[in-house]
Every structure is written in structure tokens, then in C-alpha cells.
Amino acid sequence: MIFKCLNIGLASSALLLSVTVQAVVITDTNNNSFIDTSTGLEWMDFGINNGKSYNYVASQLGQGGEYQGWSLASKDQVFTMWSNAFLGLGADYENRNEYGIGQLYAKDGQGVNGSVFTELFDIMGKNTTKYEGTAIEHNSSVGWFLGTDGLSNVHMLEWTGALFDLYNNDVVNIYDNYNYSNSYTANGDSAQSTMLVKRSVPAPTMLAIFALALIGFSLRRATKI
């Protein structure tokens, strides 16, 4: 009985640890995507469908299309993911409703190299690098989605040049206060992509598998005693 309780206790601890390990909200994949573990949604990386117009991407989601298996992200899905990713990291400034309800704005990094967003930028990818190799080099990514009144977007700005990285903030925001449909639905741009999402089925961690196996072994042993 003592052995059984010890095994179950160890297994429970392992399961708790596996949950803690998975507590990071945004995780990378090997499929040109990242996962918001709080919702179970998988998002296409920036830099994959950039250069293609919103209309083109939307036309390629069906059977045999270039982006088969993906769906256009809804406004609520975008707001939730962006908030999960970028709020509560300790940025110099953040406001969930900067331009109106759900229109997030956050900035960080002035006076230091990098920012609290740097790791997330690496995970999510980028659409384009401007002024590459200069002191004002920066990465810029716009992601389109269907908002409250037509086409809206998220934006990431990461300063990487030696001068501007130190003296400027990295910025993330959501714009849903203007209808960009007339100007951008049919036009592609290397700095702009379309937000695509699909349901993720995350594989169990080895630690969780071990814990479940240990519990199963303990219960099986207990039935024989």
C-alpha cells in the first residue's frame, strides 16, 4: 500500500510538473506555425502567406487549395491570441483598449537591446526586414483579419539595428477602428499577411506519458494485492 501511494504521489507530481512545463502560452512548432496553448488554436507564422492578397488567401482555403486545412481567423480569435501573447509580460506600457474596445497596444525595449517581446517575435516569425544591415534595421509584420467594419489588422514592429534597437520601443498593436477593405483586400505586399488559424491537437509530453504509465502500473499492482 505504501508503494502504491508513493507511486501515485510521484505520478501526480510528474503530471503537475508537465502542466507547469506547458504553462508557456505561445509555443513554436516545426510546421511554420505557433500554438496558443490556452485556446488550443494553431496559427500560421508571419512570413508564410505574406505578399499574397487577403482575397487570394481566402480563395485557397478549400480542398486542394494552397492553404487547405486553415481558416480565416475571426476578430475574437485574433483579440484573444494577441492578448494572451503580449499582455502581462511586464512591458513598459500596455493597454488592452488603446484605440477602443479590444484594440490592444503595448511597447517595450527603449534603452535596452531587445524587449520582453523578442522571444515571441522569434516564435511568430516576421513578414519583412527593412533597411537590413543598417543601424535602423527593423522587422515589420501586418496581419489582416475581418474586423468590426471590414478588414482590420494586427501589427508587430521590432527594432534590430544597433542604433534604433537601443533608442526605440518594440511595438505590438491591433487596429480595428478603420475599414481597410477597399485598399488592401486585392493587393499583396511583402510586409502584409493574412491571419490563418486551425484547431491544434497537441502531442502529450513525455513526462505526462510517464506519469500516466506509472499510475496505470500502480493501479494494476494494487488489484493483484
- Whether the pLDDT of residue 169 is over 60: the answer is yes
Give the per-residue pLDDT at 2.
45
Q: How confident is the model at residue 83 (pLDDT cuts 50, 70, 90)?
A: very high
> pLDDT value at position 5?
44
- State mean pLDDT over 71-88: 98
Tell whether 94 is covered by a domain: yes
Is residue 134, in this structure, part of any structural domain at all? yes
The shares of helix, strand and coil residues in the chain, as percent rounded to the nearest 5, are: 30, 25, 40
Mean pLDDT for all residues in the chain:
85
Contact 72, 61 (CB under 8 A): yes
User: Considering its fold, how many domains does the chain have in total?
Assistant: 1
What pLDDT is attached to residue 6?
38
Asked if residue 133 is part of any domain, the answer here is yes
State how far the alpha carbon of 188 is from the alpha carbons of 32, 37, 114, 198, 220, in Å.
20, 30, 29, 23, 60
Under the banding of pLDDT at 50, 70 and 90, the label for residue 214 is very low
Is residue 161, in this structure, part of any structural domain at all?
Answer: yes
d(CA 221, CA 153) in angstroms, rounded, equals: 57
Least confident range from 45-49, 93-97, 219-223: namely 219-223
pLDDT reading at 4 higher than 70: no
Is 93 a domain residue? yes
Question: Which of 29, 26, 12, 14 lies closest to 203, judged by CA?
Answer: 29
Mean pLDDT of 99-106: 95
Altogether, the residues listed in the chain come to a count of 225
pLDDT at position 201 is 60
pTM: 0.79
Closest CA to 142 of 132, 131, 130: 130
In a domain, 89, yes or no: yes
Residues 6+ apart with CB under 8 A from 195: 43, 44, 72, 73, 78, 143, 144, 145, 154
Residues forming beta bridges with residue 196, ordered by sequence position: 72
The answer to whether residue 16 is domain-embedded is no
Residue 120 lies in a domain: yes
pLDDT for 17-29, tens place per residue? 333 333 469 999 9
Domain that holds residue 187: 47-194
